[in-house]
Structure 1
Amino acid sequence: MQITAETPFKASIVPLPLSSTPSSFSILPGNAPRTPLQNTLKKAITCVGIGLHSGAQVRMTLNPAPAGHGIVFERVDLTSSAPIAARYDNVVCTRLSTVIANSGTPEIRVATIEHLMAALHANGIDNARIEIDGPETPVLDGSAAEFDFLIQCAGTQILELPRAVIEVLRPVHVEEESGAFAELRPARSGFALAMSIDFSASVIGQQRHAMPLNLERFRQEVGFCRTFVERKEIEALQKMGLARGGSLHNAIVVEGETVLNPCGLRHPKEFVRHKLMDAVGDLYLAGHTLQAGFMGHKSGHTLNNKLLRALFASAENWRFVGSEESSRTELRATA
């Protein structure tokens, strides 16, 4: 099956009332993963679109992969390219997107992977081989919704190897001088996230959102929320070689009190919800979902990656929860 960026995409997305969002990291028992087994895609699926920053057209295929494989990208346009595991320690740049590469060939990169990683995370896809013929994933509509749609079309396949979850054992905190911070805290079960932002543009301003991570909440609350930029920043970004593929079709553009997109916002808090969705994707570069509570204030790709590096800097911060076989496989993979 092939889906191009020009294919009309329709989804019935009805956000939950704001009063239904949790005010703390309390996780209800029903939010735990439904199955202890790993998952992959049932069949391969392809999409074609442009890169948000490169502006280049790219073709990307999501392929099934065996148990213990993990999420791995392959640059099929370069014969000398080695597979790049989607892991925090392969992140080489976090300026406006999350970019991965192997340490031996840092010039061979795959950029802007966070929206796809968020959709894979929410759908419980542990293993996938992602073929891509350019330096950046397609931006599609600027959210994770169309990647989620691709995964739905491909279907999921349960594998025989049990899934391992990373349990956070003690608080881990990183921050910047600006007051921005990101933190992981221990939790009895599940994974929950809370995010707050504070922008000078009055149409954005101060916003916050919190939710436990499960597929239903992801789709209803954050998956459809698009990336955004202030109009005054666009020219500077393009001079740096970024945002060449951005448009009102794949990004929210704001100026002062105004949203310049003709159709407006998909949700009044689309800005903070997009930032939370980014965190869902960035934190999946741990290699597994987390049993933890995440809290971020003005956190972006850089702090999200620093947080994972801080988590794994000490074996006292975390442990695997799951089968011993699965844990040993992943420890070999990250050695």
Structure 2
Amino acid sequence: MIRQRTLKSVVTATGVGLHGGRKVTLTLRPAAPDTGIVFHRVDLDPPLTLPADPYAVCDTRMCSGLEQGGHKVGTVEHLMSALAGLGIDNLHVDVDAPEIPILDGSSAPFVFLLQSAGIEEQRAAKKFLRVKKAVEYVEGDKWVRLEPYDGFRLAFSIVFNHPAIDSTSTRVEVDFARDSYIRDVARARTFGFMQDVEFMQANGLALGGSLENAIVMDEYRVLNAEGLRYADEFVKHKVLDAIGDLYLCGHPLLASYSAHKAGHALNNQILRVLLEEKEAWELVSFDQEAATPPAVSHQFAPLVALA
């Protein structure tokens, strides 16, 4: 059986919010089977609960956030990406600010936190959202598509017309039947342009942004002294974001995702298009090894035997 997963223990980290620039404390707590990923604004009285839900997504210009009753939890995509990459189904996420800390701008610190807490399998079958019929969302020259696939594969292409980006690979395909989330995706950082950062900070945005948590470029080059972590780090980060955005549907996908010039908004739109076309998807579990697609067995290999 491919089982649901949660954490073995509670883990806490502090960091800076990318947009607010204020200190944020994040606590990750184990959750019972079929709970899903649930965010809690513990700085509010009473605390506000926001389950991962594509219909609660807001602020897709700069990040993916969740909103309820006028209160938000922003910049959830890097944490959600790490949870998807490690196969965590059930988790309580406590945060004392309107956004998740940016940490180093990738999902690698979240992977470290989750692994530090320990991951355990639960006595419940993992529920996958399997795409049965291709769906597409197009907006001008940008598009995103989900197609049937017995695994999880992502192909992404970007166009920025910037010398630092154009000198790297601007297209990538990641297939978790062969690729590793931790090795091949998790360390890719968010990126931006110095003139944009300066403009946003002058208008009260990206107040926590720095060379410590993003790849920053001027008109010609990358300003970070250490350079890039991957030769294709720019497009790899778009894949990292897409994994997190798509996991807001509440289940791991069995699908082939492809996109061109897409971002948080289009990733959210394709989830809504999919969910609203009832014949295009189904929830499935794999109780028997013989019935489990090889790509799923590879991606979610058992962690430990349950006592």
Asked whether the two chains share a fold, i.e. TM above 0.5, the reply is yes
Q: Which residue is 2:155 aligned to?
A: 194
Describe how 1:101-180 pairs up with structure 2 within 5 A.
Answer: 101-102=67-68, 105=69, 107-177=70-140, 179-180=141-142
Contact 1:193 1:295 in 2 (8 A): yes
User: Which is further off, 244-253 or 200-209?
Assistant: 200-209
Task: Please give the alpha-carbon distance, in whole angstroms, between the structure 2 residues aligned to 1:278 and 1:213.
Answer: 16
Which residue is 1:26 aligned to?
Answer: none
Q: Is the 8 A contact 1:201 1:255 kept in 2?
A: no
Aligned counterpart, 1:62: 28
Paired amino acid for 2:54: Y
Which amino acid in the other structure matches residue 146 of structure 2?
L
Q: Which residue does the alignment assign to 1:203?
A: 164
Give the unaligned 5+ runs of structure 2.
288-307
Residue 302 in structure 1 maps to residue 265 in structure 2: yes
Q: Give the 4+ runs in structure 1 shifted more than 2 A.
A: 213-216
Query: Distance between the aligned counterparts of 1:315 and 1:118, measured in 2?
Result: 25
Pair 1:85-2:51 in alignment: yes
Identity of aligned residues (%): 42
8 A Cα contact 1:49 1:59, kept in partner? yes
- What is the TM-score with the length of structure 2 in the denominator? 0.90
Deviation at 1:220, TM superposition (A): 1.4
Supply the distance in 2 between the matched residues of 1:172 and 1:241 (Cα, whole angstroms).
Answer: 38
Q: CA-to-partner distance for each residue in 1:181-216, whole Å, 9 max, x for gaps?
A: 1110011x1111011101021111260111113796
Match of 2:147 in 1: 185
Give the conservation status (yes or no) of the 8 Å contact 2:197–2:209. Answer: no
Give the superposition deviation at 1:268: 1.9
Q: Distance in 2 between matches of 1:80 and 1:101?
A: 16
Q: Using the alignment, how far apart are the partners of 1:298 and 1:191 within structure 2?
A: 20
Say what the alpha-carbon RMSD is for the aligned residues.
1.5
- Deviations along 1:34-88, whole A, 9 cap, x unmatched? x511110010100000011110100000000000100000000001343100111
Q: Do the aligned residues in 2 keep the contact of 1:222 with 1:273 (CA within 8 Å)? A: yes
Q: Aligned pair 1:73/2:39, yes or no?
A: yes
The CA deviation string for residues 1-53 of structure 1, in whole angstroms up to 9 with x for no partner, is xxxxxxxxxxxxxxxxxxxxxxxxxxxxxxxxxx5111100101000000111
Is the Cα–Cα contact under 8 Å of residues 122 and 215 in structure 1 kept in the other structure? Answer: no
Query: Does 2:190 align with 1:224?
Result: no
CA contact (8 A) 2:156 2:171 kept: yes
Aligned residues of 1:193 and 1:276 also touching (Cα < 8 A): yes
Secondary structure, in 3 states, of the residue corresponding to 2:99?
A: coil
Q: Which runs of 5+ in 1 are unaligned?
A: 1-34, 325-335
Question: Which amino acid in structure 1 is aligned with residue 41 of structure 2?
Answer: R
Q: Give the 3-state SS of the residue equivalent to 2:63 in structure 1.
A: coil
CA offset at residue 150 of structure 1? 0.4
Letter in 1 for 2:20: S
Match of 1:280 in 2: 243
CA distance in 1, matches of 2:177, 2:118: 17
Distance in 1 (CA, whole Å) between partners of 2:231 and 2:286 is 42
| Structure-1 residue corresponding to 2:176 | 213
Structure 2 contact 274–281 (Cα < 8 Å) conserved: yes
User: Cα deviation per residue 1:233-279 (whole Å; 9 max; x = unaligned)?
Assistant: 11222234221000000000012331011111112211000000000
Give, as a single letter, the amino acid of the residue that structure 1 aligns with 2:153: A
Structure 2 counterpart of 1:20: none
Report the AA paired with residue 136 of structure 1: E
* Equivalent-residue separation in structure 2 for 1:241 and 1:170 (angstroms): 43
